């Protein structure tokens, strides 16, 4: 499960490929998973910035540069 709304993105039991796909939809640009991590992860991040800056802020909070 993942969700996006009101300046936040939340996911439960997601692979890194699924997380990348969620961000790809938000950023409207390709996001490639190069982590080589195999597990499933819960994540959440939020931002008060406006579009499109908020998506990049969320990615930064999750450790994506």
| Per-residue pLDDT tens over the stretch 34-48 | 888 999 999 887 766
| Measured distance CA(7)–CA(26) in Å, rounded | 11
At 29, the pLDDT band (50, 70, 90 cuts) reads: confident
Domain membership of residue 42 as a residue range: 2-61
Q: What is the mean pLDDT of the chain?
A: 77
Instruction: Judge whether residue 2 has pLDDT over 60.
Output: no
Number of domains in the chain: 1
Q: Which residues contact 60 (CB under 8 A, 6 or more apart)?
A: none
DSSP assignments along 10-52, one per residue = EEEEE-HHHHHHHHHHHHTS-----S---S-EEEEEE--PPTT
Of 33 and 28, which is predicted with more confidence? 33
């Amino acid at each position: 499960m993942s969700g996006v709304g009101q300046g936040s993105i939340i996911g439960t039991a997601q692979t890194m490929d699924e997380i990348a796909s969620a961000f790809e939809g938000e950023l409207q640009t390709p996001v490639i998973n190069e982590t080589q991590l195999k597990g499933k992860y819960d994540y959440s991040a939020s931002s008060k910035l406006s579009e499109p800056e908020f998506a990049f802020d969320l990615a930064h909070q999750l450790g994506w540069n």
